[in-house]
A and B are shown apart, each in its own frame.
Chain A
Amino acid sequence: MRFVIRRLALFAVALFGISLVVFVALRILPGDVASIMAGLNSPPERVAALREQLGLNRSLPAQYADWVSALCHGDFGTSVLTGRSVGAQVGARAQVTFPLITLGLLIAMALGIPLGCAAALARKPAVRAAFHVVAIIGGSVPALWGGLLMILLFSRGSGLIAVFPSQGFPQAGWSDPGAAMMSLILPACTVGIIVGAGLMRYTRAALAQTAQSDAVAMAMACGMTRTQAILRVGLRLATAQLVSVIGLTFAEMITGVMVIENLFALPGIGAGLITDVGNRDLIAVQSELFMLAAFFLAIGLIVDLLHRVLDPRLQSAGDNAEVNA
């Protein structure tokens, strides 16, 4: 219980810290943001109006207080360039990013977990080494390059096996599910293979660790074969670890697919954020960065708490550690 309270308190402190960091990072921009946004040769009245609109003519603490109190009311501000609310803008982008990373994670799990189990079960050194090399190569390919190879191999137009559209997301969005899905397959495969390689290493390492545990030895003593014992007992013991890794991976993929979204011209969260940074869309960038950071902190919190629920051994261990620390 002490752990939960401490963790929650730190979550609040970290949120505050991140909001401060984001705010300061955006305010120490060299030059006058308003005149950059208004463009060259724009009349001074336009710049002044923009300053007024952005609230830049007020003191920094006042600006910060305004922003935070709006955030607390669920108001993420309005993008000055598009005139749309930042919340709605992010919501629209999430409709591309979340299907993409869900599909990618499913592919990664379908590849990574069975391969990881196979690698842990393999006994011949040559086979183990082969699995190891596969995992390393899969994790060493730059996402950009992997995506390019996918385009070269499988896209309509330039691909050797022309099946999938090479870039873009249908204008109609999810009202045409077939076309939308088709445009997500290549990027999801690229992400899935790269993430899957990492997942494979984790699965192998976690299983190898539990394979040496007393529980697995006990199961084998009770008559299970090594394969049975590792898959039934070892995998169960490793579940807590794997769930937290998969949870963190899923969260990381939101920004991790930034490069892929850019390459495949998908209007997702990451690609949109990069565009906003390029446009110096102050309010949008500020709120989006904060939203993402808050989201990651929340995921970290949930995973930590979930981990303790799934693995009761940690609770007592954690209490002991606190006494020792």
Chain B
Amino acid sequence: MSNMTETSNTTDTTTTLTERNERKNELPRNAAEVTTTATRRRKPLIVVRSMWSHTEGRFALIVMAVWLAVSLISLIWTPYSLLATDGYHVWAKPSAAHILGTDGTGADVLSWLMAGSRTNLLIVILTIACAAAFGLLLVAAMVSRHSALAGASVVAVDALISIPTVLLALILAVPLGASIMVIVVACGFGYGLNLARVARPQALLAARSAYVEAALWSGASSLRVFVGHVLPNIMPVMLVQLSLSAGTAVLAESGLTYLGIGVPSGVPSWGHSLATSVKFINVYPLTVLWPGLIVTVVVIALNLLGDALGDAADPLANTQLRVVSKRAGTNPAGDKGSAA
């Protein structure tokens, strides 16, 4: 990997097959993958920078940063303790003391929302990790060379994908009761299936390509081929799908918590804040505004993040990711041609 630049320089159509085989580990994987070690390290930076250059991407990044910051701050400081109730100021209007007012027990709404953001962040991270792991496992099965395994997994995904996450959550909630695990497992399973279905065409294209053929011929293990050749190709699709799923997970949390099978009562979360204020909507409509607004803004941001990531992380759409490969002297078209 260290002398990738040198390899790239010499990779042209005149390179003989024997020479290629000798350099099997250093061969560029495909047009998009011809990068130097330096760009490899800078890649996330380039992606973030090109996301920042668009209004939507900038909005998404700012919301994500604020969400993360508030979650971290809430671990050490909230304006009021979560258990501090002020019985004399129940349902207080927003004031200097309570910026967003108080709820039915006199607890500070802002403090609960701040603490809630860390629960939601945890749920989203766990759900996404679960979905990514399960989805990748399915993708690997779908593109595997065992035709029985591949066929079975494709049909299984098609059949299971029609089962909604709410139903899964209900099945899980019966033995587990209200718990964060219900949301994480149900959503992780559902979104993993979605991910597998969305990423399959790309993965299949990569798995059946000549460079994978070459890698397998030269003795690379299936795991190595999947991580090194298939994964980079489905990465852009995967990032988009996962950030859309993150948005859906936030929505699912509020719904499931309202139904009593999500976050257990007493644990702060946006869904909890929303659900507790619902009963009093006719009397105190204002308190329901804030948690709903936060969820909406965060979900919008996650959707925009997905769009922006899709444009920024895909080497075919974002030319900045390809600049170095040109300077390295390779001819991406030629390389593609030889792979096809």
Q: Residues on A close to B: CB < 8 A?
A: 6-7, 10-11, 14, 18, 21-22, 25-26, 28-30, 132, 136-137, 139-145, 148-149, 151-152, 157-158, 166, 248, 251-252, 255-256, 258-259, 262-263, 270, 273-274, 277-278, 285, 289, 292-293, 296-297, 299-301, 303-304, 322, 324-325
Contact = CB atoms under 8 A, between A and B. Distances in A.
29 contacts: A10-B159, A14-B156, A14-B159, A21-B171, A25-B172, A25-B174, A26-B175, A28-B175, A136-B300, A139-B299, A139-B303, A141-B292, A142-B292, A144-B275, A144-B292, A145-B274, A148-B281, A166-B282, A248-B162, A258-B255, A259-B259, A262-B258, A274-B261, A285-B174, A293-B163, A296-B163, A299-B162, A300-B158, A300-B161
B151 A300 contact: no
Contacts of A26: 174-175
A296 B162 contact: yes
B162 A297 contact: yes
Interface in B245-300: 247, 251, 254-255, 258-261, 274-275, 278, 281-282, 285, 288, 291-292, 295-296, 299-300
A251 B159 contact: no
Contact of B278 (A7, A18, A144): A144
A258 B259 contact: yes
Contacts of A158: 281-282, 285
B162 A303 contact: yes
Question: Which of B259, B292, B295 has the most C-beta atoms of chain A within 10 angstroms of its own C-beta?
Answer: B259
A29 B159 contact: no
Contacts of A18: 163
Contact of B292 (A136, A148, A292): A148
B155 A10 contact: yes
B230 to A, nearest CB: 15
Contacts of B281: 148, 151-152, 158
B274 A144 contact: yes
Given A136-B300, A145-B292, A273-B170, A262 B164 contact: no
A264 to B, nearest CB: 11
Nearest to A251: B162
Contacts of A301: 159
B164 A256 contact: yes
A252 B285 contact: no
A136 to B, nearest CB: 5
Interface of B: 147, 150-152, 154-156, 158-164, 166-167, 170-175, 208, 247, 251, 254-255, 258-261, 274-275, 278, 281-282, 285, 288, 291-292, 295-296, 299-300, 303-304, 307
Given A25-B175, A142-B254, A263-B278, A289 B303 contact: no
A278 B156 CA distance: 32
B294 to A, nearest CB: 10
A265 to B, nearest CB: 12
Listed from nearest, the 3 A-B pairs whose CB atoms lie closest are A300-B162, A145-B292, A140-B299
Contacts of A6: 151, 155
A303 B162 CA distance: 10
Nearest to A6: B155
Contacts of B299: 139-142
A144 B167 contact: no
Given A143-B255, A259-B255, A10 B156 contact: yes
Given A137-B296, A325-B150, 4 more contacts: A6-B151, A145-B254, A262-B258, A273-B170
Given A10-B155, A22-B171, A148-B278, A259 B258 contact: yes
A98 to B, nearest CB: 16
B137 to A, nearest CB: 17
A322 B303 CA distance: 35
A233 to B, nearest CB: 24
Contact of A296 (B167, B175, B254): B167
Nearest to A144: B258
A186 B129 CA distance: 37
A296 B164 contact: yes
Question: Which of B162, B167, B208, B247 has the most C-beta atoms of chain A within 10 angstroms of its own C-beta?
Answer: B162
B170 A289 contact: yes
B48 to A, nearest CB: 21
Contacts of A136: 300, 303-304
Contacts of A22: 171
Contact of B171 (A25, A148, A166): A25
A142 B258 CA distance: 11
Contacts of B260: 274, 278
B296 A140 contact: yes
A252 B164 contact: yes
A158 B171 CA distance: 36
Nearest to A145: B292
Contacts of B291: 145
Contacts of A252: 162, 164
Nearest to A158: B282
Contacts of A289: 167, 170-171, 174
Contacts of B164: 251-252, 255-256, 296
Contacts of B282: 157-158, 166
